[in-house]
A and B are shown apart, each in its own frame.
Chain A
């Protein structure tokens, strides 16, 4: 366990379903991130939150809706997804601040399949 917990580990959903991915960390970090990793592609940064405020949206389609109710929890709400959205969704956290010394701690990811 890395200290960043993602649930569920696997999710199969239809294109008309609504589902949510959950990420939780108790590392005392104030920045949280969503990344997407499609098959045989590099990780793509989707969203960044600092102190519960969204500071980065990397041109993500609106069918992905993030929510950060507090610094320990991050959600990704999914609705009307497409089969090409099938991927490994990874959550990460880090201390927030301008020091270049901080790395990320990643969760194990949610493997999403859209059918």
Chain B
């Protein structure tokens, strides 16, 4: 599996953009990058995913570098309710039914 590396924690001021980085330097050509988040003691929630192009939905934007070795999740206007652990996951190419979760980034949105 392509491993991902994320910072342990980040702070963000309420109303500002939160930019969460992820390194996945061993990603292979057909593997997607997924982002999930987990608010304390709840199940992870899907945010967004992408392959090569940048993606945007109502929750966030995903920027993938041209070499696909890293990506950034952007929450354009962070709120206190966005405080959570954010997981960057690369989908296993040969075992398509598995998502492996790392330690993620704890985002603290502060007033």
Contact = CB atoms under 8 A, between A and B. Distances in A.
Interface of A: 2, 4, 31, 33, 35, 42-43, 45, 48, 50, 55-56, 88, 90, 92, 94, 96-109, 111
A45 B97 CA distance: 11
Contacts of A106: 43-45
Chain B, interface SS category? loop
B46 A104 contact: yes
- Size class of B's contact patch? 20 to 34
A8 to B, nearest CB: 14
A41 to B, nearest CB: 8
Contacts of B30: 100
Nearest to B43: A106
Contacts of B49: 101, 103
28 contacts: A2-B43, A2-B45, A4-B43, A31-B97, A35-B101, A42-B101, A42-B103, A42-B104, A45-B98, A45-B100, A56-B95, A88-B41, A90-B43, A90-B44, A94-B97, A96-B97, A99-B96, A100-B32, A100-B51, A100-B93, A100-B96, A101-B32, A103-B34, A103-B46, A103-B49, A106-B45, A107-B43, A109-B43
